[in-house]
Amino acid sequence: MNTRVRLSIERQVSFAEGSSFGDTGPYERLTGSAFFELDPNDPANANVVDFALAPRNANGLVEFRADLDILKPVDLARGNGCLLYGVNNRGNKTVVRVFNDAAPDNDPLTLAAAGNGFLMRQGYTVVWSGWQGDLVAGDGLLTIDLPEALENGKPVRGKVRQEFIAEQEDVLWMPLSGAPSIRCYPALDLDTTHATMTVREHERDPRVPVPPDAWAFAEAEMVDGALQVRPSAAACYMKGGFKPGWIYELVYETEGSRVMGLGIVSIRDLVSMLLHDAVDASDAPNPLAGHERAYIYGASLSARVIRQFIYDGYNVDPQGRKVFAAAYPHVSGAGRLFTNARFAQVGRYPRQHEEHQWPSERYPFAYSTTPDAFSDSLDCVMKRPESDPLVVHTHTNTEYWNRHASLGHTSPRTGDDIEFPDAVRVYFLASAQHTSVMPSPDDICQQRSNVMNNGPLMRAVLTMMHRWVTEGTPPPASIVPRRTDGTLVSPEEALAAFPKVPGFPTPASPSRLPLYDYGPGFDQGLVTEHPPQPVPGKEYTVQMPQVDEDGNDLGGLRSPEVMVPVGTHTGWNLRRAGFAEGDLASLAGSFVPFARTRAERETNGDPRRSIEERYASHEEYMRQMAEAVRQLQAAGFLLEEDAERYIEAAKSRDPLNEAAPLAPLTLSKAMPSPSASVR
C-alpha cells in the first residue's frame, strides 16, 4: 500500500474536568499530529492538481503533516461506536459548539467547553484535523503543512486576484489574503504600475481604476500622530484609507502555490486509518481502533468540503474501503469548493456583495442528476451509490438569498422541482439565518440579527441520521419549498408577498449566479481570467421560499419560534448607509418584532398582527407553544430534552409584558440529567 498515515499523540488529558457524561462516562482529549505519505501515481489521487510537482522522499512518496485533535470516551466500549469527524471551519472547531450549544473554543478542555454535553452523552468520538492549506498557525487553529508545487525546482508563478472590503472606518491597510489568519500569496513586484487595482461600491457597478500612486504594497499605522508606511509584499495600503463597504480588487503577479487538493485527501486517509486499521504506519496502536462506523459533519465552508469530498469520489480509500457511513452538510448552499487549484484561495466564496465572482458555486449543484443549463452535461454530487454515504443536509433562508440554495433541488435548465436520491434527506430550516451564533455585523446592518437557535432541530436531524445508519430507519421525507405547491417562487414574487413594514426595507434582489469564464485551464485547476468575465446571456435561475403574511418562510421545517412567532425572522439583512447601502450584509439575517398592541401597529403602519391580536394571554401563548413542540416531537424533529428547553424558555417570557424583550428565545444550555440519552 502506498498510502501511509502515522500518528504522533503529544498530549493526553482529561476533558471537562473529569465529568461523567451519562452512560458514556468521562472523556479525554488527545492532541498531536498526523503524518502522511502519499503516492502521486496512485489512481485514487489522480485528480489532485499539481500533485506531480510536489517534492518526493526517498521512497517516491509525497510527505506532509496535519494537526490532530480527538475527544473520546476514556472507555471506548461505553461509546456508541461512532467516530464523528468535524470538518473544521477555517481552522476553528465547530461541531461541539453546534450540537452542544457550547461557546466557541479551539482549546476545549473545561466543563464549559462541553456545553450541554449532547455529543458526549450520545457516546460519539469527535475527531478534527487540519485540512485547509492556507491557514497561519495560532489561536488554536487546526493547520496542515502541504507541499509546494515546484517547476524545475522553483516555485510556480502566476497571477492572482484579491478582494478587500473594509467593514469599519479608518482602515489604512489590509493583508493581501484579506485576513491575518490566512497565508497570502506575496507580491513578486512591489511596483504598483505592474499590478491592477479597481474599486466599486456595489458588485454590479463598473470597476473604476485606482491610480498606482494612490496605493502601495505596504503596511501603515499612525505613530505619535505621524503616518508610517512600511513596504510589504504581503499587504495593501490605501492612501486615505479604504472606503467602508466598497469593493477593492487587486490583480498582481505572485509565486508559490501549495498542493491544496491534498487537504481533502488527508481527511479520507486519516479517517480510513482510524476506522479500519489496528495500527498506524509505524505499527503504533490506533487509539480509536474498534469503532464501527464514521460520520462527517461540517457547516458552511466545511459543508462544501463534504459535498466536494463526495463529488470527487473520496468516500472510498485507495484500498477500496468505504470511509463515512453518513454525512451531514449544513448551510453549504448549492456550492462545493475551489480548493483543488493552483493559487487556490480556499475560504473565499460568493455572496451578493462580497467575493461574488469566486468559483465555489458551479454546476453540478444537486445531489441527483440534472442537466446543465449551458452545456450538454448530465451530472450530480452523488454519483457512486456503492460508496456514497447516506446524507442529511440542512440549510436556512440565508442560503436561498445569498448562496443559491434553490439550485440544489431544482433543474438548472428548467427551474422545475427535482427529486432527491433515496440516500439523501434535505431539510430547509425555515426563517433561520446562516448560523445562530455568528458574530453579528450590527455596525453595518440595518436590523438586529436573527439569532434563533438552530441547535434543537439539528440535534434531532443528527439523531435521525444515526438511526438511519444503525437501525435502517429512514428519516422523514425531505422538506424544501416546491414550485408545484407555490412555496418556491421567483425573487420578485417573494418580495411582493413580504409585508410592507415601515423601517424594514427588503432586498433589491438575491445574489445572482451568472456563468463566468475563468479561462481555458479552469477545469484543470488553473484560473487565467482576472477578473473572470460573465458569459453574456447565461445566468442560472435562483428561486426563493414564499413567505406568509408575517414575512416568515413557507415550505420548510419551522421551529416553535416560527410556528408561534413574536416577530419576522429572515435569513437576510441589508447594509446600512455608508457601507454599500441596500446590498445584502453577508450571511446575517434579520429579526423585527411585532408591535405589542393593535394601537401601536396601526400608529406605526405595520400590517402584521400585533402580539395582543395573536395571544390573548401568556397562557394562550404557552398553549400554542406547547402544541408546536408536540407536533415537532411527534414528527421526530425535536428531542425530549429540547422540547423541555422550549417550554421552559416560553414560560419565562410573557410577550404581552412590555418589560419582556421581544427577541428570539434564549434556550437553556445547561446539561440535562445524566440519563438524558436518545441512543
DSSP 466: H
Residue 135 shares a structural domain with residue 78: yes
In contact, 110 and 15? CB cutoff 8 Å: no
| Residue 606 covered by a domain | yes
The residue written with cell numbers 414528527 in the block is 635
Per the prediction, the chain carries an average pLDDT of 96
Q: Is the pLDDT of residue 437 over 70?
A: no
| Residue 405 covered by a domain | no
| Helix, strand and coil in the chain, % to nearest 5 | 20, 25, 55
Residue 456 shares a structural domain with residue 573: yes
Q: What is the mean pLDDT of residues 214-234?
A: 95
Q: CA separation (Å) from 539 to 22, 398, 403, 511?
A: 53, 20, 14, 11
| Residue 91 covered by a domain | yes
Query: How far is residue 117's CA from residue 22's CA, in Å, rounded to a whole number?
Result: 9
| CA-closest candidate to residue 428, choices 365, 379, 477 | 477
Residue 123 shares a structural domain with residue 197: no
Query: How far is residue 441's CA from residue 433's CA, in Å, rounded to a whole number?
Result: 13
Query: How far is residue 26's CA from residue 76's CA, in Å, rounded to a whole number?
Result: 10
Query: In this predicted model, what pLDDT tens digit does every residue of 100-123 receive, in sequence order?
Result: 999 999 999 999 999 999 999 999
Query: In this predicted model, what pLDDT tens digit does every residue of 387-421 receive, in sequence order?
Result: 999 999 999 999 999 999 999 999 999 999 999 99
Query: How far is residue 370's CA from residue 410's CA, in Å, rounded to a whole number?
Result: 8
Residue 504 shares a structural domain with residue 622: yes
Residue 115 shares a structural domain with residue 14: yes
Query: How far is residue 493's CA from residue 480's CA, in Å, rounded to a whole number?
Result: 17
Terminal alpha carbon distance of the chain: 37
Q: Is the pLDDT of residue 439 over 50?
A: no
Q: Is the pLDDT of residue 303 over 80?
A: yes
Cα dihedral sign, 96-97-102-106: positive
Last residue of a domain, one of 295, 323, 357: 295
| Residue 630 covered by a domain | yes
Strand intervals (E) in 479-531: 488-489, 513-517
Cell of 560: 416553535
How long a stretch of residues is the chain? 679
| Residue 571 covered by a domain | yes
Residue 149 shares a structural domain with residue 282: yes
Q: Is the pLDDT of residue 369 over 50?
A: yes
Last residue of a domain, one of 295, 318, 345: 295
Number of domains in the chain: 3
Last residue of a domain, one of 244, 274, 295: 295
Residue 291 shares a structural domain with residue 237: no
pLDDT > 90: what percent of the chain?
96
The residue written with cell numbers 496512485 in the block is 42
Residue 146 shares a structural domain with residue 216: no
| Residue 384 covered by a domain | no
| Residue 428 covered by a domain | no
What single-letter amino acid sits at 655? P
Query: In this predicted model, what pLDDT tens digit does every residue of 52-68 receive, in sequence order?
Result: 999 999 999 999 999 99
Q: What is the mean pLDDT of residues 171-196?
A: 97
Residue 663 shares a structural domain with residue 584: yes
In contact, 389 and 310? CB cutoff 8 Å: yes
Residue 542 shares a structural domain with residue 469: yes
Query: In this predicted model, what pLDDT tens digit does every residue of 649-676 receive, in sequence order?
Result: 999 999 999 999 999 999 988 888 654 5
Q: What pLDDT is recorded for position 384?
A: 97
Q: Give me the domain span that covers residue 91.
A: 1-154+257-295
Q: Is the pLDDT of residue 443 over 90?
A: no
Q: What is the mean pLDDT of residues 607-630?
A: 98
Q: Which residues are CB-neighbours of 215 under 8 A, at least 6 positions away? A: 192, 197, 236, 237, 238, 239
Query: How far is residue 220's CA from residue 179's CA, in Å, rounded to a whole number?
Result: 16
In contact, 579 and 245? CB cutoff 8 Å: yes
Q: What pLDDT is recorded for position 679?
A: 60
| Residue 344 covered by a domain | no
Residue 501 shares a structural domain with residue 552: yes
Q: Specify the 3-state DSSP secondary structure of 128.
A: strand
In contact, 292 and 81? CB cutoff 8 Å: yes
Residue 582 shares a structural domain with residue 676: yes
pLDDT > 70: what percent of the chain?
98
Q: Is the pLDDT of residue 10 over 90?
A: yes
Q: Is the pLDDT of residue 70 over 80?
A: yes
| CA-closest candidate to residue 345, choices 194, 505, 159 | 159
Q: What pLDDT is recorded for position 440?
A: 52
